[in-house]
Amino acid sequence: MAATGILSLSLGGLQGTEMARAASDWVIANPFCKYNDPDEVGGPCYHYSVFYCSQAMFQYGGRHWAQYYPRIVRMLVANQHQDGSWAPEIGGHARYGNVYSSALAVLALTAPYQLLPIFQR
């Protein structure tokens, strides 16, 4: 939820606030270390969390983005299946299958390309 807060502040023109910095520091201090693990940061909503963190860290920028993005790229690429998909969520969103998780993974990886108009700087 820290990432959704950062993103909301950023889209509202408040990315330079102490609250945004503190939340961005928290995201960097709590990296995604294990892929799609329900005990990991993001819990049973791993791909959803990775997506929002990518968007938030991109919008926040600077060293936070430089630290976050390479780690998540390595994590996602290492766990991508041969057919290009990613495993379904382990928790409640598992019912949406790998279409949901794959869409979120792609959107997380493409944050610097600003494909979603709402997230454009």
**Closest to 45 in 3D by CA, of 12, 92, 1:** 92
- Per-residue pLDDT of 61-84, as tens digits, reads 999 999 999 999 999 999 999 999
CB atoms within 10 A of CB 36: 20
pLDDT tier, 45 (very low <50, low <70, confident <90, very high otherwise)? confident
Cα gap 105→49, rounded to integer Å: 10
Encoded tokens for 45? 């909503």
pLDDT at 58 over 60: yes
- Per-residue pLDDT of 95-114, as tens digits, reads 899 999 999 999 999 999 88
pLDDT at 121 over 60: no
**Closest to 50 in 3D by CA, of 67, 35, 29:** 35
* pLDDT for res 120: 62
* pLDDT for res 110: 94
